[in-house]
A and B are shown apart, each in its own frame.
Chain A
Amino acid sequence: MTVHPGLEVLMDEPSRLHGKRIGLVTNQSAVTSNLQHAVKLLHSGRGWKLTALFGPEHGVWGEAQDMAHVDHSTDPLTGLPVYSLYGKNESDLAPRREVLRGLDALVIDLQDIGSRYYTFIYTMALCMREAAPLGLQVIVLDRPNPIDGVHIEGNIREEQYSSFVGMFPLPTRHGMTAGELARWFQRYYECNLAVVPMKGWRRSMWWGDTDLPWVIPSPNMPTVYTATVYPGMCLVEGTNLSEGRGTTHPFEFFGAPWLDSFKLADSLNHLDLPGVRFRPHYFLPTFHKHANKVCGGVELHVTNRATFEPYRTGLWCVKVARDLNPDEFKWRTETYEFVSDRLAIDLLAGSAQYRELVERGGNVDEWVATWEDPLTEFARMRDEFLLYRD
């Protein structure tokens, strides 16, 4: 059975938009099950007026690479003004109040992918924060969590590592939808919030079960397989290893010019991590880190997505690669997602514990064992915000 995203549910019963001036926070993946886009549907609808668009990281139509700031512009389809929510400075991440003042409702339709790092949910949060004092209604149109709503994994982000890759104390793989997260964020911001749930989605569904077309939510998220490994492999961004950007399999490959593919694959396979095998591979990033240099590395092959632990796997990958070549390996020290006073790896891990553990030669699984109680607590906490059961 096809899942109907919140956008479709809203367009079937659009009376709540009547008489309103609407702003829309969205990008290319906001489509119905037959690929009608939110911008077109809301622009051509009658009884309300779409007056402004807001683009998250990568822009409204997905044209920009990661961490590339996007300027305000005019939308090529509608001629509407497009306000970038991913500008040069951290203060540009939130919509400006003078723009919001001209609106009666702010509709948010963004495809999340189920990892704490992925920035769209924080764009949503900042919209909620700015809308609250104005009394502006925020309408979140829900979409599936492509890697299901059951599995949760990871440590809870610590307060001092709050950033645009972790604004809330979430575990790395949160198992929630954007609509459910909005209901939780509402506790912080108390804005006038309405969530339009999907029809037909159940927590156990992976993307392939929804019968919806995959429209890439960002340039380096080509398939649901990418989303499956992303909760762990995004950690590689916090190092000088390549996360396979500049290839057609970002996040499924990782490596570096100095790494021996065969040694790396053997070391990782010896760990016998559940649901995944590592295959030696050589790849050539065409841009980004180590551009045009042959990198030795591995490809991750998920053999059982139900038992696969993406975050634990990613933590081991970085540690093992570092231990093979400790002299070449470096943590990323450049500014990451607008933060320069803390290391990217700490922001990504939501804690300094992981980096410290790696540096002293500790065992990742000892840290993993400490997550159980906080995760149970998180699961209990999130329950009241959930919109879907199985």
Chain B
Amino acid sequence: MTRTGLEVLLDKHSEHLRGKHVGLLTNYASLTSAFRFALDELLERGECRHITVFAPEHGFWGDAQYMATIREDSWGQSPRVTMLRSYDPDNARFLSPDPRAVADCDVIVADIQDTGARYYTYAASLIKLMGVAKDTGVPVIVCDRPNPIGGVAVEGNINFYEPYVSFIGNLPVPNRHGMTIAELAVFANQEMHIGCELLTIPMEGWRRSMLWDETALAWIPPSPNMPSPRAALLYPGTCLFEATNISEARGTTYPFDAFGAPWLDGFELAGRLNELRLDGVLFRPHVFTPTFQKHAKEVCGGVWIHVTDPVAFQPVRAGLLCLKVARDVNPERYKWRESHYEFAHCSAIDALTRSSRYQLLVERGTVDDIREWFATWEADERAFSEQRPRLAEYEQPAPLAAVARLHPTVSTEDTVSVEIPRAEA
């Protein structure tokens, strides 16, 4: 079983915590394997003197807009905890934490679950916090957590230029970055020249090749619309529907697993998408009725995306093609999102794809044109895959039990004495 950086910190490095005033980037999903909040464990086992909580997007309880009045100002009436608002959907000022609050801390600890997609904003919150910590001279400890969609595959373009630098992507990484939150922090500290005093606490028992289910950790939705690791694997692709008038199945129990719209015929859409013969995925016609947000209470035709081979599946390419095909079925009903999106300085689709080209290709090009555009990413994907910082702890071969399972002819007794070579750091 994978042990998260938080547990390793508490077990082996509590000298960083004892008696300290800790600034904690966390939310309700940061739990130990015993389902205890990171916040409670740091207070009790870590013996911190005081904790100031910096919650990311959605707030500590997962929905800032509504939860702001609930326990965002206190933690069980504990005088040792200060809960700060660090995100406000209407006020960019809250994207960056208050320097005075950071300066009051002896150390910043981050324990937050990322989902492996560039658009997911928790890494952006961490990077903002690191910047303020540098300015105020406070060291930062990042407790690592798994990338739920694995640490091997990277996918997408990087194109880190204005106006595509925004809160839904403030790092030069591809859409699917294949890094853990601690690796992102190391990367940001170097590439973005933040230069804060940074200590990473790696997980134990995690390997780059692992998908979430192999970690044996419970999935706690890191935000309300990320209910399953299944959704996390699709999110680098289906998040793109947020930039359109097609529903990404928000308002159902399975956002990002499916998409559709009242005017779409799911049978035709599934047929067209299956004809593309994408690796590791099948599309099934699906009908749903969102209870809120886009097309609330309207019956939507669409498809459910069933990943049949999570290693071969390429969520970003699949998502970009899904959107194109869905638009082509009914171009006259299709619209790009025009309203304000996550503080971006360009249209939502351009901010998500970091390109103005995709929008043009959808409107005027063919599926093959989009596939040609994918080919232009390949050099960047290869280079990034090789150059990204990788924590040495995750490079080891799979643990023995997994080896025995993959190769059932090898008995565990025979392999037990074999020393596992450590990969070069």
Contacts and interface: CB of A to CB of B under 8 A. Distances in A.
B289 A34 contact: no
Interface in A202-250: 213, 215-216, 219-223, 226, 246-250
Contacts of A333: none
A361 to B, nearest CB: 27
Which one of B76, B221, B227, B292 has the highest number of Cβ atoms from chain A below 10 Å of its Cβ?
B227
B291 A63 contact: no
Given A35-B282, A35-B306, A62 B288 contact: yes
Interface string B406-419: 00000000000000
A65 interface: yes
Contacts of B111: none
B139 interface: no
Given A284-B66, A286-B251, A249 B291 contact: no
B374 to A, nearest CB: 25
A248 B254 contact: yes
Nearest to B256: A248
B292 A213 contact: no
Interface of A: 28, 31, 34-35, 37, 59, 61-65, 76-77, 213, 215-216, 219-223, 226, 246-250, 262, 277-279, 281-284, 286-288, 292, 294, 299, 301, 303
Contacts of A299: 220
B224 A76 contact: no
A277 B35 contact: yes
B224 A247 contact: yes
A279 B35 CA distance: 7
Given A213-B306, A216-B254, A222-B254, A28 B286 contact: yes
B227 A249 contact: yes
B284 A215 contact: yes
B359 interface: no
B282 A34 contact: yes
Contact of A281 (B28, B66, B76, B265): B28
B70 A294 contact: yes
Contact of A248 (B70, B253, B284): B253
26 contacts: A28-B284, A34-B282, A37-B285, A59-B287, A61-B287, A62-B288, A76-B265, A76-B301, A213-B282, A215-B304, A221-B253, A223-B227, A223-B230, A248-B225, A248-B227, A248-B252, A248-B253, A248-B255, A249-B221, A279-B35, A282-B70, A283-B62, A284-B67, A286-B291, A286-B292, A299-B220
B51 to A, nearest CB: 17
Nearest to B213: A208
B291 A282 contact: no
Given A34-B282, A282-B70, A301 B253 contact: no
B63 interface: yes
A282 B71 contact: yes
A222 B227 contact: yes
Interface string B247-269: 00001111101000000010100
Given A28-B286, A59-B287, 10 more contacts: A31-B284, A62-B287, A76-B265, A77-B267, A221-B253, A246-B291, A248-B255, A278-B35, A281-B28, A301-B218
Instruction: List 7 tightest A-B contacts by C-beta distance, closest first.
Output: A248-B227, A222-B253, A61-B287, A287-B291, A277-B35, A286-B292, A63-B287
B289 A294 contact: no
Interface in B43-77: 61-63, 66-67, 70-71, 76
Contacts, number: 105
B299 interface: yes
B425 interface: no
B308 interface: yes
Contacts of A31: 284
Contacts of A219: 252-253, 288-289
A301 B220 CA distance: 9
A251 to B, nearest CB: 10
A64 B289 CA distance: 7
B136 interface: no
B67 A294 contact: yes
Contacts of B284: 28, 31, 35, 37, 213, 215
Contacts of B37: 279
Chain B interface bracket (under 10, 10 to 19, 20 to 34, 35 or more): 35 or more
A284 B63 CA distance: 8
Contacts of A284: 63, 66-67, 224
A291 to B, nearest CB: 9
Contacts of B383: none
B130 interface: no
A63 B227 contact: no
A38 B77 CA distance: 56
Nearest to A216: B254
A217 to B, nearest CB: 12
Nearest to B34: A277
A149 to B, nearest CB: 23
Given A77-B267, A301-B35, A223 B291 contact: no
B31 interface: yes
A262 B253 contact: no
B35 A250 contact: no
B299 A63 contact: yes
A294 B59 CA distance: 14
A281 B288 CA distance: 27
Nearest to B229: A223
Contact of B287 (A28, A262, A287): A28
Interface string B269-299: 0000000000000101111110110000001
A215 B284 CA distance: 9
Contact of A65 (B67, B286, B289): B289
A29 B225 CA distance: 23
B14 interface: no
A282 B292 contact: no
Contacts of A292: 66
A213 B306 CA distance: 7
B76 A262 contact: yes
B228 interface: yes
A336 to B, nearest CB: 20
Contacts of B292: 286-287
Contacts of A301: 35, 218, 220
